[in-house]
Chain A
């Protein structure tokens, strides 16, 4: 079992803790009083969790070989490695979005958010190509980023809790689909979201004039883009019976915060409002994951090997 624990620690726990430390500087220190710091902190932390997990799993060479010849490396660039590059680029876009928001007049932030989301969608549509790319598939990727942006915008103060669940579902789907590497990378983002949600709650209580975590600005763009791209990447390589629509639905799960919006708006406290929004998204998320598990189990595949600690990662 040491091998499994060591592996999980290196590709999930350490990247998530690293992201929590970076994000925690903005969420649980006096920086929390600055709106830009909260936005930038989250925009760095969440993609950082994915990138750190990616590098831990595959090495930085997997991304670098797209742009340069690396000595001693003769492996070709694999299309799914775009996910690592995209997440690294999202850190820069998150910074730019936060900076642009700080420069515009009050009320102009929404235009910055929209412009940033459009940049992310167009860039993803042009560059992030998975196997058998076509014009339709690339428009689909761009469209999913935009749709996820609309959905994530509804998460409000429950952004990090919903992000925890949504990336967790993607990790589970990737695991079901036989894509262990993507499962651990999405798992790292999920765990980072959870740790950041805890830190955000602690910081919100303990720091006077703390700015709230909101599903706007750089965090919105980053979470929406990551959800859309990881979902498309997972779907493109999926070896299970999970239908495409399940993969497409996961980035939209945050939008189901709407289900209990009335209760959320009437909630007596921020914590209660956060609960109702999370509850709505969680209901749909659990249903989606349950459907995927049921469909995969109904396929009549061979029995798993319970004695194999890696069984979920590569079957057996």
Chain B
């Protein structure tokens, strides 16, 4: 009888966290709430970039990138809270492998670099999806239009470099470029370039050293 009671107690102890886990996993977390102190992370532009994908002439997928992203994140290395991002891409750093195409993308029909030189993302809140895996909501400002987007972010690793500790993130989201006033080539000329743009953001940053 005692064995039976012990077995039920053990089962209950095992079942409790398992049954609570999904609730904990999906509970929204305010962006800046942290159980332990969040580390300040400054992105290393050389190892931080954004890759975009867009359909060309209704056929192939065309890829390009924005080099040298800058910005910061705060995130407790024990993953006890969500990362908070503030990332900036400079339009003049667009790189498609074709100098002429880069120029055209910087022109008024697309990013209009002369008037809107930067693209910025600032996170507002996040929801845990899994271990080191977050759904981050924030404001994306592109061509002077700010809209809330949701991006799927993963902590890709925590490593060590000659200058100290490094953290990598990868975030992905999809946007409709027409929402940001970038309409050329969607309806006129019809189908020249797609409306849907898939973005992958790869970030690597240096963790600020704790003050002694």
Contact = CB atoms under 8 A, between A and B. Distances in A.
Interface of A: 2-4, 6-7, 10-11, 56-57, 74-76, 78-80, 130-132, 177-182, 236-237, 239-240, 299-302, 304, 308, 310, 313-316
The list of the 4 closest CB pairs from A to B, nearest first, reads A239-B103, A178-B104, A315-B101, A75-B181
Interface in B97-114: 97-110, 112, 114
Given A76-B144, A239-B103, A181 B109 contact: yes
Interface of B: 56-57, 97-110, 112, 114-115, 143-145, 180-181, 184-185, 188-193
Q: Which of B101, B145, B181 has the most CB of A within 10 A?
A: B101
Contacts of B100: 178, 240, 301-302, 304, 315-316
B23 to A, nearest CB: 37
B188 A57 contact: yes
Contacts of B112: 78, 237
Contact of A239 (B57, B104, B185, B193): B104
Contacts of A181: 108-109, 184
B101 A7 contact: no
Interface residues of B: mostly helix, strand, loop or mixed?
Answer: loop
A242 to B, nearest CB: 11
A178 B109 contact: yes
Contact of A310 (B143, B144, B192): B192
Contact of A314 (B97, B109, B143): B109
Given A131-B114, A239-B106, A3 B181 contact: no
Contacts of B190: 2-3, 6-7
A178 to B, nearest CB: 4
B188 A302 contact: no
